[in-house]
Structure 1
Amino acid sequence: MTDTPISPVVSFGDRRRAAPDENAVGDISPWEVLRGVWARKEIIACTFVAFMAVAIFWLMTVVPTYTVETRIMLSPRAGEISTFDADSTPSLPDNETLQSEIQVLTSRPLAARLITDLGLAAHPEFNPALRAPGFLGRIAVAFGLRDRQQPTDIEEITDVVLSRLEVFQKINSRVIAIVFTSADPRMAAIVPNRLAELYIAQQVEQKAGVNSEAARWLASQIAELRVKVQASEAAVEAFRAKSGLFLTNGSTLPQQQLTDLNSQLSVAEADRAAAQAKLSNARSLLASGNAVNSAAEVLQSPLIQNLRQQEVALRAQIAQMSETLLPTHPRMQESQANLDDLGRQIEKEVHKVIDALENEARVAGARVNSLRDSLNRLQRRMGEVNQDEVKLRALQRDADTNRSLLESFLRRYEEANARAEADSKAANARIVSRAQQPSEPTFPRTGAALTLATIAGLIFSFLVAFLLEAFSRGFRAGDQIERATGMPFLGLVPELETQKGSVYPALDIVRDPAGLYAEAIRALQGHVLLARVGDRRARTVLVTSAIAGEGKTATAASLARVFAMGGYRTVIIDADLRDPSLHEALGARRQPGLADLLVGRAAFQHVIRQDNASYAHVIQAGTPVPNPTAALASSQMLWVLNALQQTYDYIIIDSPAAMATADAQVLAKITDVTVLVVKWSSTNRRIVARALKLLSAASSRRVGLLLTRVNLKRYRRYATDGLNEYPPHTSRPAIAAR
């Protein structure tokens, strides 16, 4: 029998769909996600309630803690007694210094000192050994795995204290904040304050220690220098006594004598020169007549000055008498005689002055000669003295050096003692803000915590719903299918609730022909009736699924019964030769069928049977065959279909899942219409896309998709195509889908 030519089918119901993009299956519409999130409002509410319950339980069980802060500022103290007269101001601490001091504040030695000072080892909050053991701890004590009383470990206590402590630099400042957290508000304030005090006290101790160490070192050096100075000065004086180089006015006696003789010789030579000058001047004046009377020595003579005064007075008298008396007058002659006598006396005195000058010049010359002889003798003596002075200066330099060192060390020693006493309580840090005992815990803050928990709970709840929706695997609405696959959406089949006495969905078609399930199958029937293959209607319908368990067999059986109940001659074929189940869906026992027909073990009259609940005919799978795919792809299978088309209006074929075997691809090639059954909100979209690709590769016909086992209550939250107006249907038989 020849193959029937196959023309491309346009679509089910003559509806056209755009071809999907290559990655259309992975696309997610924002509106779909929002509808999906809202559809999961029960999950949102439950998640929010659970989140708030956990938050409230945490608030009720968490131990409140108190966090307070002490602030200290690092700055060198200006105006200290030890530095008040310094020329330069103290340098400010840089960032490295601040970070170093922060490390000191968080050092283990300082923390251990704090623990000892405040007795923190006696507090269970800081000493784990004093805490009551937990459940596991009590079990360990009961079995002897741990001592009932744990020993106190100072290192562990230090770790606990440091974990509660936070020290950091305030931004853009030289202020260091000491923050401490404790369950006891009083201890929360005491610990940072005491730590700041201990830190400042440690600075004072370190500074005092430095000064004391410097003072001790200087004292030892001073004692050694005193011995050296005494020895060097004794050597100087011994050599001075031996050489006779005694100091007089800062110099040795020979030096002083030489200096004095030089000074005296200079004075004597000056005196001699002056005396000779005076004598020469007087002699030259004497040689010129009475001009000698104008000599300074003559003028300075008291006797000559007296005689000159008498001469002046007598001349004035003679001049006065000459106005009234003649020269021959006795009084005039007497006065003139007295005047001549005064002249002779003055001349006599002038000669005496000249003789005195000559004598003074001779004495001055003799004194110069004497001093020059003494100087020559002393200079010869100085040649020997200079050699001794070289040795004396060397000894003196040693003594002066030792004395300078001793004086310097004595000065520094006095300064160190004065600084240690004056700045004994000075430190380069001071407390600018002390911690105060808080009245309310800083953690947790109930109001803020509840507000934050409410906001976080809402965000978390919506996030959970969003993630569930965004990562959901299956299709939930027809527009999703058509947009993602480009294939027509054939409708949906509701999920029926379990009812006593019901076993298979196909039975619901007979028991409740006006129910939602029957109406959904009749909607699928309408799509099949409108399907065209070229210029004729489609007659062979393949019902398959991507994977098993999606309801394809129940759908095929229900569709066959609907066609038969509508007056169409219908036959349904179970083409699942590996795991047949159509007989179960129809409530019949297993009998020979299609496999027997294909291999020639039976004829049509032996395999076609009447459905016990409708006018439909049934061909079961029959006896298993070694190669089901080859059997279905054989010309015998095509002959069977052509023969059945001569008798029946519609042929419904139930095939294996498309992703399980190649049987569905083989059957899709020789049938008019393919219905791909997809379980609602369950089957992975990529698996559906893969199944569509396999079916499309086998045939050029389009494939319609049917959603099965739809939860109508949830579907109304997703659908936007009017199907959400279907009334709820709760009293229905159970589905036994494959």
Structure 2
Amino acid sequence: MNYANFPLDKRMPLPSADAEKGEDFIDIERLLGMAARQVKVVAVCAVIGLFLGVIYLQTTPKQYMSVASVLIDEGLNKVVDDISAASVTMQTDAALLSQIEIINSARLASVVVDKLKLDQNQDFMNPPQSALAKGIGFLRGVIGYFRSSSADEIPGMENVDAATREAMKKEASHDYAVLKLQNEVQAQRNGRSYVIAIGYQSPNPALATAITKAYSDAYLADQLNASFDATERAAVWLQGRLAELRESSQKASMAVETFRAEHGLSANSDGQLMSDKQLADLNAQLIVAQADTARASARYQQYKAIVDSGSDNAFNDSAIASDQPASSVITTLKTRYLTIAKRLQDVSANYGADHPQAVALAKEKADVSAQIFGELKQLTENYRNEYEVAQTRETALRQKIADAAGKSSIDNQSQVKLRDLNQQATALTTLYQTFLSRYEEASQQQSFPVGKVRIISDATMPLSAAGPRTSKVLALFLVLGVLLGAGFGGLNEFNERFFRT
């Protein structure tokens, strides 16, 4: 009878295989045989896994989830944006992620802890744990006990009085509550919408509901406070800036008036410089004076020519306008002269030129002609005086215009500097008015803060537990039991000392 040779290390040798036949590396028939021999081990481990799953479900407290939904709504503050100087449009994913980070912030968690006094709530600070968690905690305590030493204690704590120690413990408890709440609260965006779901899970459904509701209210209040604080800071900054701008504007306006007074750049109601206005008036007067001089010169030259022609031609050249002062006298004399000349002609024709009456009339005619010539000389002298006065007035006006033109040139040069100062004053005044309007808007908005968040789904009391899920737990423990049974089965096959035919 032949017996199989067994190696001394109690392990079965691998079956010889041909390198060219890859299908001989995996023996399906042998694997199925192994599975058939170890099926009981796998089944027992699966049952044990299910039993452990049932024990876990029985020893693990139920967890209740409460959820509230908030909407980032841009339409809530359109009224404020209409009067606000600066508005922020939230239309990016980064902005929504920033809102989620605000919800997960320690500041918001601290507000909820203070509002609900969670640091004094044992249901929150020490919630019921499962047997598995208690076992893990016990092991951690044992390990920590052996690893702990006096060097881990804070130096100087033995010198702290009881009140300070109690305050430090209270502060540490508060910080632990804030950190615990910050890690346990859940906030996530619903799809691609502007809705953020805020949830909290706790063994106490009332506590979960209260924390979720407090978180949504705290988030809404935080948005309002942020809007109020931003508006308040803007108002305070604008108020300080307004004082500076008011002072700068007043200094600029004072500089304009001082420069105008020092250089005599006073302006009329139309904004025209007085020197320019005076120059324009003098030019207008010069034009009138030139016309008067030309008219006086023409009259003087006319009557001077009459006088220069002699007394014999005075009667023939003594035609003057009726508006002249001596027109009536000369006209009377001319009428008398013509009458005498007609009588002289009649007498000379009837009685001869030697007639005594003709001689008397000729003498009277000569006297009247001399009177007319005297009147013409007097009128010529008057016109000469008028011409000289007009000429002197024209010369004086030309001198005044030259002086005014020089002063106007200097004023125009100073006007450039004045215009620059005036532009600075105008710019500062406009900037001051703009900041004053912004300050008034910020002051109005400060008393009317409107956030961009509203609660669309308030937290409600959960009616059923969110975890642990029975089906998932049992399925997980069943899979673990099957895997453990497969491991034990493989180990049995590996350590087998028998042989089979």
TM-score range relative to shorter protein: 0.5 to 0.7
Q: 1:367 to 1:224 in 2, by over 3 A?
A: farther
Q: 1:471 to 1:253 in 2, by over 3 A?
A: same
TM-score by length of 1: 0.42
| % identical aligned pairs | 19
CA distance in 2, matches of 1:454, 1:434: 33
User: Quick check: which has more Rg, 1 or 2?
Assistant: 1
Larger strand fraction of residues: 1
User: Counterpart of 1:67 in 2: which secondary structure?
Assistant: strand
Q: 1:440 and 2:460 equivalent? A: no
Match for residue 254 of structure 1 among 275, 290, 293: 275
Q: Give the corresponding residue for 1:21.
A: 17
Moved over 6 A (4+): 23-26, 85-89, 134-138, 263-270, 366-373
TM-score by length of 2: 0.59
Q: Give the corresponding residue for 1:98.
A: 96
Give yes or no for contact 2:235–2:443 (8 Å, CA) kept in 1: no
Match for residue 200 of structure 2 among 154, 163, 180: 180
Match of 2:436, as an amino acid?
Answer: Y
Q: CA deviation at 1:114?
A: 1.8
Match for residue 126 of structure 1 among 117, 124, 127: 124
- Deviations 1:686-717 (CA, angstroms, capped at 9, x unpaired): xxxxxxxxxxxxxxxxxxxxx66x7xxxxxxx
Q: Give the corresponding residue for 1:401.
A: 424
Match for residue 205 of structure 1 among 225, 230, 237: 225
Q: CA deviation at 1:76?
A: 3.9
Give yes or no for contact 1:180–1:192 (8 Å, CA) kept in 2: yes
Aligned residues: CA RMSD: 4.7
Larger helix fraction of residues: 2
Q: 1:412 to 1:197 in 2, by over 3 A?
A: farther
Give yes or no for contact 1:67–1:180 (8 Å, CA) kept in 2: yes
CA distance in 2, matches of 1:461, 1:233: 92
Match of 1:212, as an amino acid?
Answer: E
Match of 1:178, as an amino acid?
Answer: I
Matches within 5 A, 1:335-414: 374=397, 377-391=400-414, 393-395=416-418, 397-398=420-421, 400-414=423-437
- Deviations 1:226-285 (CA, angstroms, capped at 9, x unpaired): 334334434443444454432111112221233455578789999xxxxxxxxxxxxxxx
Match of 1:156, as an amino acid?
Answer: Y
Q: Give the corresponding residue for 1:695.
A: none
Q: Give the corresponding residue for 1:428.
A: 452
Give yes or no for contact 1:200–1:427 (8 Å, CA) kept in 2: yes
- Deviations 1:162-200 (CA, angstroms, capped at 9, x unpaired): 221122333323333322112221222232332233233
Match for residue 33 of structure 1 among 31, 38, 43: 31
User: Counterpart of 2:122 in 1: which secondary structure?
Assistant: coil
Give yes or no for contact 1:33–1:466 (8 Å, CA) kept in 2: no
CA distance in 1, matches of 2:459, 2:445: 30
Q: CA deviation at 1:116?
A: 0.9
Give yes or no for contact 1:66–1:184 (8 Å, CA) kept in 2: yes
Structure 1: segments with no counterpart, 5+ residues: 1-8, 12-18, 271-362, 475-680, 684-706, 711-720, 722-738
Q: Which moved more, 1:23-32 or 1:241-250?
A: 23-32
Match of 1:429, as an amino acid?
Answer: V
Give yes or no for contact 1:71–1:177 (8 Å, CA) kept in 2: yes
Structure 2: segments with no counterpart, 5+ residues: 5-14, 154-161, 292-385
Match for residue 193 of structure 1 among 194, 210, 213: 213
CA distance in 1, matches of 2:236, 2:87: 28
Match of 2:90, as an amino acid?
Answer: L
Q: 1:151 and 2:155 equivalent? A: no
Match for residue 57 of structure 2 among 56, 59, 75: 59
How many residues matched?
362
User: Counterpart of 2:208 in 1: which secondary structure?
Assistant: helix
CA distance in 2, matches of 1:189, 1:405: 57
CA distance in 1, matches of 2:395, 2:125: 102
Q: 1:88 to 1:421 in 2, by over 3 A?
A: closer
User: Counterpart of 1:125 in 2: which secondary structure?
Assistant: helix
Matches within 5 A, 1:653-732: 682-683=496-497
Q: CA deviation at 1:443?
A: 0.9
User: Counterpart of 2:123 in 1: which secondary structure?
Assistant: coil
Q: 1:20 to 1:236 in 2, by over 3 A?
A: closer
Q: 1:186 to 1:230 in 2, by over 3 A?
A: same
Match for residue 105 of structure 2 among 99, 104, 107: 107
Q: CA deviation at 1:42?
A: 3.1
Q: Give the corresponding residue for 2:378.
A: none
